[in-house]
Structure 1
């Protein structure tokens, strides 16, 4: 095969030989040698502008100097001791910092984990323990991770659950509102009401409200295509939960830590959730996650119900503290909001030139650009999305697709305006190539990707 990079091809083949297929999401043959800020360098020294941010796990940029220095300093002292048994000053300091970032103004606590998956699953445990109820309501299109509870709560890809059942019992899924695919003549209010009625339907037919522990929501759905729901809808569901003693839990693993132009994505919707899960960018992709919530809720589980040998490890805690420092000191939340408006305008300019761009969903440096065969029918065009990300890769951009036909735009928040301009210049060329049918996918990539 000829995928642009002979050494990368060889190394990817070796990786496929040794790594389980389930852990490989193949978009194109890229083997990363080094990275800094928003620039990634491969094993043949080709440089790429990173518009993926390592799966939204590098909000403060690759190898951020402050994070690297914090890691080295902590490693020089000691690498770790199980913080569940004997804690340390770094993990204690991070716990106080995260508790202050939790929703609500009362006494909040933190439960450490090692991945977004265990954090979202942790919210299920805490919700069931606190309420004494068993049912969990989640959403179609959701992605919450791949441990058993997290994968049960998710519903974005049938291959994720094929062959591994039975899954966690008493998890119910309801549809998530998508304003791009509204019915003809519907207003945003109409969409909110229609989907709220769909949300209530299980409670009116087979789901006892008094046995429901929590509703788990990505305030902005990530892997479904960066879907932003109507604010009114989120508030209706939130109010319903609190009227019936149901906890409202938010998954901020993908969308939090400044990604959407606010520190947490739920802050766009005027609510205060009961539980929050964070991870990914929290420690620059090192194995760190956390569940945040009130002391009353988080103390409903007793010793060992949610604890991990590496949870709160001081090395990753040092990285997380440095990450939070960088977000604050460099005002990255505000930068994300401002640059997000700029990026949306650049995508709108592309949409004026290229009819395949059907919808542009953007909050902060966080976008889903939906490609369609026809703007009238809005029929998804996964082939166009595959060709765009492949040609972009050839021209020096890392970008992937979601839900088949949606381009994922989540660069490190530290990306410069000059880098953004260069990226959009390249994307203009890419869409021009697509329009003139100049992109031929390698056979190996025709059906690959998320």
Structure 2
């Protein structure tokens, strides 16, 4: 009898046949998943605080989503919407155009991934404005395609060795209040980080050649920094002043991740173009670009699209996701989850000096770890040790941040109170071990 764990066999096959660059965070081969739980091939149970990188807001294998996909697969799986269209895509467009913030009449298009949505948003903005320059955040992440990499700020591992990159991309710092790039403190700063955009349009790129400003409402890979309430309204006002399209990259923050359907609702800002993906279809490959009608309709027929865009099973899944969010009150559940999570993490901060900052918006929450609270020296090694311990103890937890020292929480919004408490308990034990603290 072979008592060797099944995962070890797969690891050997993986090492032999799969490219090293197509890496995974953990050697956990998934057998099944339900709600906020995952089981590996050896039936070890994990609490999932990663959610497939903020993809499973409605939870793993939600019965309504599974049913929608099965039903569509039995009817037809592909015709290419650009050849022979079907109802679900049109219904989904209608739904999203009513959900994306702002009073303007909107239209939508669909592709497969977040990076594709970003690429198309940039294409549309350039086409509409007849300008080429794009401004992005230094801490932003927008994908691994050529334009996605060009817009992304973090070099390793996303950009190293893959240049040259797309031209006409410019960067400004984000509102990172814990590490203010301008050396100021809120609110006495007057939100200088937002005013800097106007200065930037003098010293780095002219508004006459700038098509769009693309922004993650809260940077994902960058570290989950939450901006001051005045920040995005100020940025949008500057963009409007100079005729620059404002693109909200809501790929990670959309579909309830911040306690509202889209994060821009928190600041009452209407983007010219919004991208969304990840939790939109609960794991099915689907992304959307939703923009003001006059902007979206400016592109000639056939100028945007793709063979697999608006896959019928993915569109049915997305319609089911939006129904579940509404019918099960997941936005309110997400807010409640975020409050409990923030409370639990702030309790940990009281006991562990390594926790420099706890921040978040709704159920999108992060902890930044530092070696010293005064110097704020990043603690990436300790961060990795904590995520390693948590994984060994059955908790999937990911890190992020430009220094690799931020723990981010992306659990499904259906995570139970007991699962949350158990997860925080594991994290507390990890901090005791890493800091050698005996409470």
TM-score when scaled to structure 2?
Answer: 0.95
Give the unaligned 5+ runs of structure 2.
none
Q: What's the CA shift string for 1:373-425, capped at 9, x where partnerless? A: 11111111011111111110111100011121111111001111111111112
How well do the aligned residues superpose, as a CA RMSD in angstroms? 1.8
Alignment correspondent of 2:44: 46
Alignment correspondent of 2:405: 405
Alignment correspondent of 1:443: none
Give the unaligned 5+ runs of structure 1.
439-450
Quickly say closer, same or farther: Cα 1:317–1:379, change in 2 above 3 A: same
> Could you tell me how far 1:184 is from its partner in structure 2?
10
Query: Superposition pairs for residues 137-216 of structure 1, below 5 Å?
Result: 137-182=135-180, 186-191=184-189, 193-216=191-214
**Quick one: distance in 1 between partners of 2:221 and 2:207?**
29
Q: What's the CA shift string for 1:193-250, capped at 9, x where partnerless? A: 3323432333112411121111000011111111111222222111000011111110
Alignment correspondent of 1:287: 285
Quickly say closer, same or farther: Cα 1:437–1:382, change in 2 above 3 A: farther
Question: Any conservation in 1 of the 2:173–2:181 contact (CA below 8 Å)?
Answer: no
> Could you tell me how far 1:74 is from its partner in structure 2?
0.7
Which residue among 375, 378, 381 is the counterpart of 2:376? 378
**Quick one: distance in 1 between partners of 2:205 and 2:261?**
34
Alignment correspondent of 1:311: 309
Deviation >6 Å, runs of 4+? none
Q: Secondary structure at the match of 1:369?
A: strand
Question: Any conservation in 1 of the 2:101–2:269 contact (CA below 8 Å)?
Answer: no
Q: What's the CA shift string for 1:319-349, capped at 9, x where partnerless? A: 0000111111111111111210111000011
Alignment correspondent of 1:445: none
Query: Superposition pairs for residues 250-329 of structure 1, below 5 Å?
Result: 250-329=248-327
1:356 aligns with 2:354: yes
Question: Any conservation in 2 of the 1:179–1:191 contact (CA below 8 Å)?
Answer: no
Quickly say closer, same or farther: Cα 1:339–1:159, change in 2 above 3 A: closer
**Quick one: distance in 1 between partners of 2:187 and 2:283?**
38
Which residue among 126, 129, 137 is the counterpart of 2:127? 129
**Quick one: distance in 2 between partners of 1:183 and 1:75?**
51
Quickly say closer, same or farther: Cα 1:435–1:162, change in 2 above 3 A: closer
Q: Secondary structure at the match of 1:370?
A: strand
> Could you tell me how far 1:120 is from its partner in structure 2?
1.0
Alignment correspondent of 1:446: none
Quickly say closer, same or farther: Cα 1:183–1:284, change in 2 above 3 A: closer
**Quick one: distance in 2 between partners of 1:300 and 1:211?**
19
1:431 aligns with 2:438: no
More off after superposition, 196-205 vs 276-285: 196-205
Quickly say closer, same or farther: Cα 1:405–1:315, change in 2 above 3 A: same
Question: Any conservation in 2 of the 1:192–1:232 contact (CA below 8 Å)?
Answer: no
**Quick one: distance in 2 between partners of 1:415 and 1:82?**
36
Equivalenced residues, count: 433
Q: Secondary structure at the match of 2:420?
A: helix
Query: Superposition pairs for residues 50-89 of structure 1, below 5 Å?
Result: 50-89=48-87
Alignment correspondent of 1:17: 16
More off after superposition, 359-368 vs 15-24: 15-24
**Quick one: distance in 1 between partners of 2:224 and 2:43?**
32
